Structure 1
Amino acid sequence: MKLINFIIEAPWLFLIIAGFAGYFQTVTGFGLGMIVMGLAGGLGIAPVATVAAVISLMTLVNCVVALPGRLHHVHWPSVRATTLGIIPTIVVGVLLLDYLSDGAATVVQILLGLVILYAASGLLLKANRQEQVASRASFVLFGGLSGFLGGLFGIAGPPLIYHYYRQPLELIRIRNTLILMFAVTSGLRTLFVVGRGEMNMDILTLTVWAFPVIAVATWIGRHWPPPFSAATMRRLVFIILMLIGVSLIVAGLFS
């Protein structure tokens, strides 16, 4: 009977979304947070604040596993500047989400739709590389944008991904620097949420459920990638996220 109740009470739709997101990130290298927030948050499976906290925890664990032995590939000068931008704006993002969640669900819905559209556009956007590494101020600026989105919805990736892939750095250095920055963003957001006493059982339960599903989806992605290219996968998720983003905005405006 306990096993039956355990199976019935499982958040199956959320786990399906997490599995799809984990598989997609394995075969393309990015997208877990965007997909989970876009589908789980957009479809109302769980409160946006809960989904954002779960995404931060999943991202943090993923980064901690991926980083050991690769820190020598990190571009440290940009890390310091980017972190300066992240710290204050991630607090602003979390506080704004708390404020809006209390009585402005429609505004949260529209903002989420806009962020998802922005994130979706990044799937197909190709950044032209610069001849020299950008200024310290630019890393602070893009760090601030990522911190705000990370605090608001747990989706810190798009601004940083766009900015770093424009830099004349080796791809391995870009990838590992981004992993570290995602760890910083997720870690800071999680610490702030814990400090405010908002790390509840719903967040922890969803996270515990999601970890093994994402692990299995990652293993499947490594051994059985899709029969079409990563570019096709990006277009597919681009279409899905665009539809969700537009529907959230339209529903919010008419409500």
Structure 2
Amino acid sequence: MNDLLPLIPFIAIIAFATYVQTVTGFALGMIVMGAVTTFDLVPIAFTSVVVSAVTFINGAVALKGNFDAVDTKRVLITCSAMFPAIMGGLLLLDYMSSDFNSLLQLLLGITIIAAGLMIMLKPEPMAKPSSNLMFAGSGAVAGLMAGLFSMAGPPLVYLFYRQPFELITIRLCLLSIFLLSAVGRTTMVGAQGGLTLDMLIFSAVCIPMVALFTWIGKNYPPRVSPNTLRRMAFFLLIIIGASLVVKNI
């Protein structure tokens, strides 16, 4: 991209979304994909590659020193079904980006609205953990969304927040899965020849900001209740998703 003006608001959106994901365990992909697409800063396929790169940095910094709290077994079960689905999502993105871009943006808006509603459902924790099949099924759905939009969060957030785990385990499991999905997606895009110099430059410029705001989120979380955080994330996602839907109807 010759015009670097989109870089400034792009970095600002990345910084804000990184902080939100660090304190909640989700929302980076949804906020970045939705906001960047709403303002037509860069194409969806481009943004999704950058989101994968910054998700990796966010996860690596957030997990440092906290890995013992991760439920490794369920993370691996989820990822085993997620990776094949990521490839399917990438193939669908490649097909829709060339001929059905408006439909792709509409689908993104609907997905973000649905994600916001899922966040507000606030499911009650179950008495015992879900079956391995449930984690694998959720991983497959998340993988398809990750391939399309680099946005694996909604089905995983809903499932993990229903588990009778400690909050830190839920948050770090989600960050671990997002990190692994980012690595897998970026590797697959590279194998397809879909990585460009512009994408790498955008990603490299955003990395220091991601590391900084991840550190800020770890050490200076907002002094509000989890319910307040959920409501704030909900309203933000609804606004972003609705703007995309209206724009592309």
TM-score (norm 2): 0.88
Q: Which amino acid aligns with 2:53?
A: L
The answer to whether structure 1 residue 215 and structure 2 residue 211 are counterparts is: yes
Of 25, 33, 36, the match for 2:32:
36
Of 156, 161, 164, the match for 1:165:
161
Q: What is the number of residues matched between the two proteins?
A: 247
Q: Cα deviations across residues 5-33 of structure 1 (Å, max 9, x unaligned)?
A: xxx75711112212222333344443222
RMSD: 2.4
- Once residues 34 and 142 of structure 1 are traced to their aligned partners in structure 2, the CA distance between those partners, rounded to angstroms, is 17
Write out aligned runs for 1:232-243 (5 A): 232-243=228-239
1:77–1:240 CA distance, 2 compared to 1 (3 A):
closer
2:70 aligns to what? 74
1:86–1:243 CA distance, 2 compared to 1 (3 A):
same
The answer to whether structure 1 residue 180 and structure 2 residue 143 are counterparts is: no
1:138–1:203 CA distance, 2 compared to 1 (3 A):
same
Asked if 1 retains the 8 angstrom alpha-carbon contact of 2:89 and 2:146, the reply is yes
Q: Cα deviations across residues 140-163 of structure 1 (Å, max 9, x unaligned)?
A: 110001111111101111211110
1:25 aligns to what? 21
Q: Which moved more, 1:223-232 or 1:62-71?
A: 223-232
Residue aligned with 2:112, SS: helix
- Once residues 221 and 70 of structure 2 are traced to their aligned partners in structure 1, the CA distance between those partners, rounded to angstroms, is 28
1:27–1:63 CA distance, 2 compared to 1 (3 A):
closer
Q: Cα deviations across residues 116-162 of structure 1 (Å, max 9, x unaligned)?
A: 11222233231211111111111111000111111110111121111
Q: Which amino acid aligns with 1:32?
A: L
TM-score (norm 1): 0.86
Residue aligned with 1:166, SS: coil
Bigger radius of gyration: 1
- Once residues 161 and 241 of structure 1 are traced to their aligned partners in structure 2, the CA distance between those partners, rounded to angstroms, is 14
Of 95, 98, 103, the match for 1:102:
98
1:220–1:80 CA distance, 2 compared to 1 (3 A):
closer
- Once residues 25 and 182 of structure 2 are traced to their aligned partners in structure 1, the CA distance between those partners, rounded to angstroms, is 18
User: Unmatched 5+ residue regions in structure 1?
Assistant: 1-7
User: Unmatched 5+ residue regions in structure 2?
Assistant: none
The answer to whether structure 1 residue 113 and structure 2 residue 109 are counterparts is: yes
- Once residues 248 and 101 of structure 1 are traced to their aligned partners in structure 2, the CA distance between those partners, rounded to angstroms, is 16
Residue aligned with 1:86, SS: helix
Q: Which moved more, 1:117-126 or 1:65-74?
A: 65-74
Q: Cα deviations across residues 49-90 of structure 1 (Å, max 9, x unaligned)?
A: 111111111111222233344333222332232122102111
- Once residues 182 and 111 of structure 1 are traced to their aligned partners in structure 2, the CA distance between those partners, rounded to angstroms, is 21
Residue aligned with 2:39, SS: coil
Of 195, 200, 213, the match for 2:191:
195
The answer to whether structure 1 residue 139 and structure 2 residue 135 are counterparts is: yes
